[in-house]
């Protein structure tokens, strides 16, 4: 019995990777430089040479006619995200029979798509890009930019889950008691989002959803007018600027507090 348990436990541990056929890094950029904003999301092969990052940044700035100062910001943001991804390589993560719900709520140009579906984290041959193309074909979405955005959204969620699995494995290793560590894993975020298939499908393993659940898993596609898109773009732009303003104000307040503390400390020292 012990050998079987040990074998099962060993099979549940893998080295970090996103549970897909291609181990690509989801990259997200949201930059504002010299009053202009650049926002994009795409995937990157972590095995590509770092020199490609600068080449990509220069080509992007040229194609989109952005200020040259964007080159450094784009390259640095991509490099930072690649470094975070590579820092996880070689670390252990927990895997197993986990089915997780993934959600989509994205807007690409005039198309809004909302959907949720189940994904097998133990299937390392899955292909988010192929899934996205099939989904867009089934929903008759003709905008060619939607499928890549869907694939990136899926990869972002799978990446987050993989990172949580690494954290769970790390916390278990440093736990002094094996039983305590196992309990911690079961209550961690990474395992908390997985679903019990028996509870989900019932004792008979039926994959037919109940009628009351149909609306929950029915994809929704909306085509916005140009006026609606302009309104949403303006709102997002305003929210982004307000966020930057809050950060700047907080940084300024922190700087003033530090200056006041230094002045107060100098007064105390002079009195002593």
* Predicted confidence pLDDT, tens digits, the chain (272 residues): 444 344 444 446 789 999 999 999 999 999 999 889 999 999 999 999 999 999 999 999 999 999 999 999 999 999 999 999 999 999 999 876 689 999 999 999 999 999 999 999 989 999 999 999 999 999 999 999 999 999 999 999 999 999 999 998 888 888 744 555 455 445 444 445 555 544 554 544 455 666 666 666 789 999 999 999 999 888 888 887 776 565 545 555 555 655 565 555 555 445 55
Report the pLDDT value the prediction gives residue 263, as an integer from 0 to 100: 54
Distance CA 73, CA 63 (A): 16
Report the pLDDT value the prediction gives residue 14, as an integer from 0 to 100: 85
Q: Other C-beta atoms within 10 Å of 158: how many?
A: 20
3-class DSSP assignment, residue 188: coil
How are strands ordered across the β-sheet holding 99-108?
A: 99-108, 111-120, 220-223
pTM of the full predicted structure?
0.74
Q: Closest Cα partner for 31 from 64, 67, 70, 57?
A: 70
Q: Other C-beta atoms within 10 Å of 197: how many?
A: 14
The 8-class DSSP code of residue 168 comes to H
Report the pLDDT value the prediction gives residue 9, as an integer from 0 to 100: 46
Report the pLDDT value the prediction gives residue 62, as an integer from 0 to 100: 97
The 8-class DSSP code of residue 76 comes to H
Report the pLDDT value the prediction gives residue 214, as an integer from 0 to 100: 60
Distance CA 159, CA 173 (A): 21
Report the pLDDT value the prediction gives residue 13, as an integer from 0 to 100: 77
């Amino acid at each position: 019995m012990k050998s079987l348990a040990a074998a099962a436990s060993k099979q549940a541990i893998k080295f970090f990777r996103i549970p897909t056929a291609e181990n690509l890094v989801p990259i997200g950029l949201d930059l504002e430089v010299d009053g202009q904003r650049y926002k994009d999301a795409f995937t990157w092969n972590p095995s590509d040479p770092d020199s490609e990052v600068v080449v990509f940044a220069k080509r992007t700035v040229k194609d989109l006619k952005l200020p040259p100062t964007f080159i450094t910001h784009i390259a640095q943001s991509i490099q930072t995200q690649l470094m975070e991804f590579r820092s996880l390589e070689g670390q252990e993560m927990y895997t197993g029979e986990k089915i997780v719900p993934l959600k989509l709520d994205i807007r690409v140009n005039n198309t809004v798509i909302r959907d949720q579906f189940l994904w097998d984290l133990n299937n390392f041959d899955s292909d988010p890009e192929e899934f996205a193309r099939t989904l867009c074909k089934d929903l008759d979405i003709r905008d060619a930019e939607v499928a890549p955005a869907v694939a990136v959204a899926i990869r972002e969620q799978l990446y987050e889950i993989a990172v949580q699995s690494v954290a769970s494995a790390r916390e278990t290793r440093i736990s002094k008691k094996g039983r305590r560590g196992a309990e911690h894993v079961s209550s961690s975020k990474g395992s908390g989002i997985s679903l019990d298939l028996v509870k989900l499908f019932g004792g008979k393993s039926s994959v037919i959803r109940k009628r009351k659940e149909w609306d929950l898993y029915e994809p929704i596609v909306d085509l916005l007018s140009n006026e609606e898109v302009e309104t949403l773009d303006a709102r997002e732009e305003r929210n982004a600027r307000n966020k930057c303003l809050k950060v700047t104000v907080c940084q300024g307040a922190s700087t003033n507090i530090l200056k006041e503390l230094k002045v107060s400390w100098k007064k105390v020292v002079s009195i002593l």
